[in-house]
Amino acid sequence: MALWGISTTQETWANNYAIPKFLDDQDRNNTPHNCFADDRGWIYRRYSTDTHSGLGTIYTDEVLVPIAGLNTVAAASTVFGPSGITPVGTQVYTGLAPATPVAVFFEDPNNSSNITVAAGGTTGVEPGATVKVNVCYNELVFVSTGATINIITSNVSNTGGAVEGGAGIVGYAETAVGSITVFNNTNGTAGGENEVYNLTGEAGTDFAGQITNRVSFAFTAPTANNLLQDNNVFRQPNINFASADGTGGVGIATTTFFVAAADMIGVVAGVSSASLLNNLGIAFTQAPVVAVGDTFFTIGGPTGLAITIRDQQGAGIGNTVLFSNLTAQTKLRVDITRGMVGTVTSFFPDDTAALKSFINAGVATSPGAALPIGIDRQVGGAGTFMSGSFEISDATLTVDGTGVVGLGTTTIQVSPASTTF
C-alpha cells in the first residue's frame, strides 16, 4: 500500500495526498493532476482533447487501483452468503477525508504535449489575454460558476503591485459546456452507476459549473496601458578604465565611462539607463544613456533636462555599473494564502464541503512539524510533486521538503512584443 493511499490517516502532503506515486508530473499524458478518487478507486482521466480540466467533456476514465468506496467515509455494504440471497454481514470500506487541493498552477497557454521542469512551454502572454489557472483535487468535486481565486501582481523586479491576501486580479471558475457522464455512488454506499450531468448552466439543467478534480479558473491579463513599469537590470559590469587612453585613475567631473566591449551588448542610447556604485559617496542612479560606443557610454541629466556639473560623477577602476531598461511587464502568481472562495463540494452525495485552503510551502502545521511542500506548481503543472520528493530522512524520520523546488517558474509574465522605452 506504500504506492497509494486508502484512508484519511494517509492523506497528507508528505504522503502525496494518497495519490498513486508512480504517476509523473513531468509527463502531461501521465500526470498526477488527472488522477482522482471516486467510488471505484483511484481513477486516471484520459482526455481526448487538449483541454485537460473540468472544461474537457470528452474523456475516458481508467481505473488504476480498484478500491470500492474510496471517496466515501466509512461506507458499508451488505455481504451475502454463498446463495447470494441471505445477508451474512456488512463490509466497511475505508474512505478518504474531504476532497483536498493538491496542486495549483497556470495552465500552459500552448497546451504543450510535454510538461518539463523547464516550465512546460509558454511563460508569457500578451496584454489582455485570457489566462487560466488549474486547481487540482484528489477527488471529484462540484465547483459552481463564480467560485474565485486571487492573483497577485508584481513588476519585472518582483516589487510593487498587489500583495498576498490583498486586492489583486480575481479569477472565476468557468462553466463547462455540454453534458458529461460520470460515475456516481448515488445510494451513499459502495457501488454506483454512470449518470449524465448537463453543465451549460441553462434554466432547468443539472449544474452550472464543473464536475472534475481539475478546476479551471479564468481571468483577463492586464492591458498594455495598465502594465507595471520598473527598471530591469540586465548587466552589471565593472568600469575598466576612466579615460579613453586607458591610463586609469578616477574620472573627475565626467559623463563618459569605459567598459569592456562585451559589456556594451544590449546598451542602447535613448533606451537604457545606468547606475553607478562606488565608494566615493557620490553616484548616479538610473541616469539616461545618451550615447554609446564600442567600449564607452555617456550619461545625460535627468529626463528632459540638460547635464550639469552636479550630474557629473567620478568613477574608479572596478566600480560597478548597472545597465537597465525601463520595462513594462506585469508578473502574475497565484495567491496561495487566500485559497478559494465560493461553493466547492465533494462529489459524494452527502455534499461534504471540500477543503478550499491551499498548503503554503514552509509553513509548519504544528511546532516541530516537518515543513510542507506548497501546492503551487510550475506553468503547465510540472514541478517536483513526485519522483523522490517524499523520501523520509533516516535521521528525523520525517519529510522536510529540502531541495524540493521546481526548476521552471510558477509565474506568468504579461508584456507586449516590445517592453522597453
- Which pLDDT band, with edges at 50, 70 and 90, does 398 fall under? very low
Amino acid identity for residue 377 in this structure? R
At 200 the pLDDT is 67
Percentage of residues of the chain with pLDDT beyond 90: 17
Q: Which stretch, 180-184, 187-191, 278-282, has highest mean pLDDT?
A: 180-184
Is the confidence at residue 172, as pLDDT, over 90?
yes
pLDDT single digits (tens) 52-63: 888 888 888 999
At 283 the pLDDT is 66
Q: Cα 280 to chain center, whole Å?
A: 44
The full set of domain ranges for the chain reads 8-225+331-414, 229-328
- Which pLDDT band, with edges at 50, 70 and 90, does 407 fall under? very low
Name the residue among 296, 295, 299 with its Cα closest to residue 275.
Answer: 299
Amino acid identity for residue 75 in this structure? A
pLDDT single digits (tens) 267-295: 999 889 888 876 665 567 788 888 999 98
Q: What is the mean pLDDT of residues 291-306?
A: 75
As a whole number of angstroms, the distance between CA 420 and CA 137 comes to 40
Burial class (CB in 10 A: 0-12, 13-18, 19+), 342: middle
- Which pLDDT band, with edges at 50, 70 and 90, does 401 fall under? very low
Of residues 115 and 45, more confidently modeled: 45
At 320 the pLDDT is 86
Q: What is the mean pLDDT of residues 33-43?
A: 89
- Position of cell 468535486? 141
Q: What is the mean pLDDT of residues 218-233?
A: 90
What rounded mean pLDDT belongs to the chain? 75
At 365 the pLDDT is 58
Given a contact cutoff of 8 angstroms between Cβ atoms, the answer to whether 221 and 416 are in contact is no
Q: What is the mean pLDDT of residues 230-235?
A: 85
- Which pLDDT band, with edges at 50, 70 and 90, does 390 fall under? very low
Percentage of residues of the chain with pLDDT beyond 70: 66
As a whole number of angstroms, the distance between CA 373 and CA 392 comes to 14
Q: What is the mean pLDDT of residues 332-355?
A: 84
- Which pLDDT band, with edges at 50, 70 and 90, does 221 fall under? very high
At 188 the pLDDT is 47
Is the confidence at residue 114, as pLDDT, over 60?
no
pLDDT single digits (tens) 128-156: 999 999 999 999 898 988 899 999 998 88
Least confident span in 208-222, 265-279, 287-301, 384-398: 384-398
pLDDT single digits (tens) 204-215: 556 678 989 999
At 132 the pLDDT is 93
